[in-house]
Amino acid sequence: MASRVPLLLIFANLQGALCWGELGHATIAYVAQNFVSTSTAAWAQDLLDDTSTSYLASIASWADSYRETTAGAFSAPFHYIDAEDDPPSDCNVDYDRDCTDAGCSISAIANYTTRVSDTSLGTEQQAEALKFLVHFLGDITQPLHDEAYEVGGNDIDVTYQGYSDNLHSDWDTYMPESYAGDYSLTNAKAWAKTLTTAINSGSYKSLAASWIKGADITDPITSAMTWAVDANALVCTVVMPDGAAALSDADDLYPTYYDSVIPTIELQLAKAGYRLANWLDAIYTDTVAKRGLEGTEGEGSAVVKREAAAPQSWALPASKPLTRAQMARAESGYKCNHSKRGGHSHSH
Give the active site residues.
Answer: 20, 25, 64, 67, 79, 135, 139, 145, 168, 172
Say how far apart CA 5 and CA 19 lie, in whole Å.
23
Q: Is the dihedral of CA 288, 291, 293, 299 positive or negative?
A: negative
Say how far apart CA 77 and CA 107 lie, in whole Å.
10
With contact defined as beta carbons under 8 Å apart, do 325 and 97 qualify?
Answer: no
Say how far apart CA 35 and CA 198 lie, in whole Å.
13
Three-state SS at 28: helix
Residue-wise burial string across 289-304, b where 16 or more C-beta atoms lie within 10 A, e elsewhere: beeebebeeeeeeeee
Say how far apart CA 162 and CA 348 lie, in whole Å.
13
Give every CB contact of residue 281 below 8 A, 6+ residues apart in sequence: 36, 37, 40
Give every CB contact of residue 158 below 8 A, 6+ residues apart in sequence: 164, 165, 166, 167, 170, 247, 248, 250, 253
